[in-house]
Every structure is written in structure tokens, then in C-alpha cells.
Amino acid sequence: MQIESLKVFSDLVDTASFSLAAQRNNVTQSAVSQQIRALENRYKVIFFERGKKNFSVTPEGQVFDAAAREMMDIFAGIGESISALNNVVSGKLKVATIHSVGLHQLPALTESFRESFPEVQLEVSYHSADDVYSEVEDGRADVGIVGFPKARRGVVVEEIGSEKLVIIATPDADIASRKRMKLSDIGGSKFIGFSQDVPTRKGIDKLFRESGTTVDTVLTFDDVETVKRAVIVEGAVAVVPESAVTHEVKTGILVSIDITGVDAIRPIGVVKKRTRATSPALREFLEVLPKLV
């Protein structure tokens, strides 16, 4: 049994598609079928229920998948462990991040990191918060960065700091001249919010409850860039991380107002796989990550 077969197996579990699993591994769909059949013959069990409309992983398949992922982690860690012995900071380092951090806080840090460690092939990908956890848990990323971090099975989550949440509005808004205000001062205002499944939305909703604030949410989006654009188009207000509007405030497109009366912050956390070895590259990256906040 080869390590490549284990990856094909787990990719099939993730995608529930023979064609997508084939694409991920640069092989034919027939090759995927043959490898799965060979594994089933070897263990004399059925790992996947294959129907015209239904595709599911059997209990035996779930057990094999868990073991396969553990073995792939061990295999991936061999090179990292050898490099660690020599303290060589090199190799690939994959970072999964939510959009707001990746676009507004991470670029300066990654640029500095690349200058300090040119032998590291640093790759950054952008995802929803849920997908960041999945990328790390499934081994597709070495480390993840999220807002409002929460404990999740299979990963270690560590808070590294926080940043302010601020009220934003257009320069011609009635509140534009305010430097700070309570959330209740925007009660009843036309409000642009984040989608329900975005952790920052849940954090902001909690602040509204604590301050007894009710707003008229007219639109919701799953990324801060669209929220900012909607504030401009609708002449509305929103609550966003301060770092996400630095450019717009500097150029006069939006105004930023500090929030008083509640602890309006967004915690930032790092996500690591519990069983993954810490390579020298990852170790160095983790050391500089607190500079984000």
C-alpha cells in the first residue's frame, strides 16, 4: 500500500466524487476506482456505498479514513522532523486565513517573513472561518488564522490577540463628525451586517444584546469588502474590524468611529492540527504571528 493511495482515499471522502478525487491527484477516474477497489479487496470490506444518486462512506471506510489521515500526517512530518534536527528553515508552509485578516493584516507580515526566510515556500489561501478549521484539520494547511476563535475537535486553537471593532459610515452621514459613540446611538439606523454564519456577526450580535441596541439590518454579506461597499452605496452604517477600513478612512471614503460602553473587540486566533509536527518554518511563523495584532 502506497501513501498516494491513502491520499486518494481521503480525497474521495472529502469530495464524494471520483472525478474530483482524480483531479486532486492528477490521475484518471479509472485509477481512483482501481485503487479503492484494491484497498477494499485487501481488507475484504466495502468502504463506500456507490449508488446512482447516493454516495456514502461506510463505518469501515470512516475508520480507514481516520487511520489514513494519521499516517499521512506522520509521513509528512518525517521531512519536517529531519529538518528540525538540522534547524533548517525551509520547505513549504501553507497558511489558511479568513479574508479580512488575509487582505488587511497579513500581507506586511508575510512580506517580512519571506525576506527573513527566503527558502520557505509560503502559500496563503483565503477561506470562510469554517473552511479554515477544515483546511487545518484535514492537513491541507499547516496553520490557520480566524476571528473569534473557538475550540474544535482535532485542532488546537490559541488566541494571539485582538483588534478593535468600529462603527463605519459615509463622510456625509449625520454621525460622521463623532469620534466615539455608544452602539445604542445607531439604534434604528439602516445597518449593513455580516451573514449569520460569520463568527464576527455573532460577536457583533452579542454586543448589540449587551447594549440593548436594535438596528435595521437591510443587507448582509459574508465578507468585509462587500460590507464596506454596501455602506457606501446604501448610505448606511456597519460595525467592522478597524484594520479592514484603514485605507478607506485615510482616503476619506469612509469615517471610523470608536465604540464606547462595551468591550468592542474581535479576538484573533491561530489554528494548528493537534497531531502535526511543528517544522522549523512553522515554528518561526508562529513566533511572528502575534505581530498581526
Q: CATH no. for residue 62?
A: 1.10.10.10
Does residue 51 sit in the same domain as residue 181?
A: no
Give residue 276's pLDDT.
Answer: 77
Give residue 80's pLDDT.
Answer: 64
Give residue 79's pLDDT.
Answer: 67
Handedness of CA 146, 152, 155, 157 (dihedral sign): positive
Does residue 279 sit in the same domain as residue 147?
A: yes
Q: What is the pLDDT of residues 208-247, one digit of tens each?
A: 999 999 999 999 999 999 999 999 999 999 999 999 999 9
Which of 49, 81, 113 is where one domain is finished? 81
Q: What is the pLDDT of residues 106-140, one digit of tens each?
A: 999 999 999 999 999 999 999 999 999 999 988 88
Does residue 153 sit in the same domain as residue 171?
A: no
Q: What is the pLDDT of residues 188-209, one digit of tens each?
A: 899 999 999 999 999 999 999 9
Does residue 238 sit in the same domain as residue 167?
A: yes
Q: What is the pLDDT of residues 260-273, one digit of tens each?
A: 999 999 999 999 98
Give residue 190's pLDDT.
Answer: 95
Model-level pTM greater than 0.75? no
Asked whether residue 84 carries a pLDDT value surpassing 70, the answer given is no
**Number of domains into which the chain is organized:** 3
Does residue 229 sit in the same domain as residue 274?
A: no
Does residue 140 sit in the same domain as residue 278?
A: yes
- Residue 266 is inside which H or E element, if any? strand 265-273
Closest CA to 193 of 242, 149, 230, 147: 230
Closest CA to 96 of 220, 250, 251, 269: 269
Q: What is the pLDDT of residues 175-187, one digit of tens each?
A: 999 999 999 999 9
154: domain CATH number is 3.40.190.10
Q: Measure CA of the first residue to CA of the last residue in the chain; give whole Å.
A: 46
Cell digits of residue 158: 490559541
Give residue 142's pLDDT.
Answer: 93
User: What percentage of the chain's residues is helix, strand, coil (to nearest 5)?
Assistant: 50, 25, 25
Structural domain boundaries, residue 19: 3-81
Which of 60, 81, 102 is where one domain is finished? 81
Does residue 202 sit in the same domain as residue 61?
A: no
Q: Which amino acid is it at 219?
A: L
Percent of the chain with pLDDT over 90: 67
Does residue 168 sit in the same domain as residue 254?
A: yes
Asked whether residue 49 carries a pLDDT value surpassing 90, the answer given is no
Among the ranges given (52-56, 175-179, 187-191, 283-287), the one the predictor scored with the smallest mean pLDDT: 52-56
Does residue 156 sit in the same domain as residue 76?
A: no
Does residue 30 sit in the same domain as residue 149?
A: no
Does residue 248 sit in the same domain as residue 197?
A: yes
Q: What is the pLDDT of residues 87-109, one digit of tens each?
A: 667 888 999 999 999 999 999 99
Which of 81, 102, 136 is where one domain is finished? 81
Instruction: Report residue 110 CA to chain centroid gap.
Output: 16
Asked whether residue 72 carries a pLDDT value surpassing 90, the answer given is no
Does residue 273 sit in the same domain as residue 143?
A: yes
